[in-house]
Amino acid sequence: MTLRRTLTALAATAVLTLLPNSAQAAGTYPDPRPITGQQIIHDPTVIHLKSGRYAAYSTGGIIGARLSKDGKQWDDAGNAFATPPSWWYEYNDTGDPWAPDISYRSGRYWLYYAVSSWGTNHSAIGVATSPSGLPGTWTDHGKVFTSERTDTWNAIDPAIVKADGKLWMSFGSYWTGIRMVELDTRTGKAKEGATVHHLATRPDAPYAVEGPYIVKHGRHYYLFASYDACCSGVNSTYKIKVGRSTTITGPYIDSTGKPLLEGGGDLLLEGHGRYVGTGGQSVFRDRGQDWLAYHYYDTKDSGTPKLGLNRLSWTKNGWPRVF
């Protein structure tokens, strides 16, 4: 990198660090990191495996898998499972899973995922474990948590977070928004009779907020969520918003103090240029750096959903920014 480019990058970082807390200023949204190979993906969850490779799992296939040696060149690696577990067919006719989440604890990799049908909250979240995190090595352990048509929440889009020695799962899509339950640390499944906490919603139906992901930074927990419409190619209006709380179960508020339960949320990333409908996000940490993973629809490739990766940094006031 030349000295001029280095100074330009440092200047841009300094400007973003000093931006107001409310939202990443209009026109400053960065393009995703250039990648090569198999870029097509939806609802990505990414992890740096202990073996040294990167793995990305996603909606599509029987939980589609991508592998990379450097986080830049990605290769198709098939699916997490060879065949769908039989119980998936209780929730859709094709055994089609959605929105996985991968994490590592207790010497194993844990893969959470949802099975449902479009437009219904007859849904379930399941879990599988693997010693390596690689496709083809997963053992399914069945249902973690379910929702029915009589519930006011939807058991899809799971994301796992540890807090104060406890294990929690945020989830939700439409049906009044984002929820959370405590999990049993041994089984990885919802505790019997667990309270269903309410974290975020929109003021009006259809309450278009989904895909939560929570991370801790400093003394706060940060709730990232996707707002508005997914899955419509170049017509998608997905965008990523964030709020924070000092306790895992909330209340979560944005930088103006507005609760996410009242429609609040700081805009972190939205469509710009060829990158439309940014959402389905997750966050992973790699060599001390936080990264935001998401999908976007490429207007220069017929709206094909592709993997977006951006560095995630934090202002002095503790709010996230993408670079």
Tell me the catalytic residues.
43, 210
d(CA 276, CA 121): 27
Tokens representing 24 are 């990443």
Rounded-to-integer distance, Cα 265 and Cα 321, Å: 14
Tokens 């929440």 — which residue? 153
CA within 13 Å, CB half, 100: 34
Sign of CA dihedral 55, 59, 61, 63: positive
**Three-state SS at 182:** strand
- 251 upstream amide cis, omega within 30 of 0: yes
CA 191 → CA 168, 249, 259, distances in Å?
A: 10, 15, 27
Give the tokens for residue 37.
Answer: 């190979």
Q: Give CA–CA dist 284/145, Å, rounded.
A: 24
Gyration radius of the chain's alpha carbons: 19
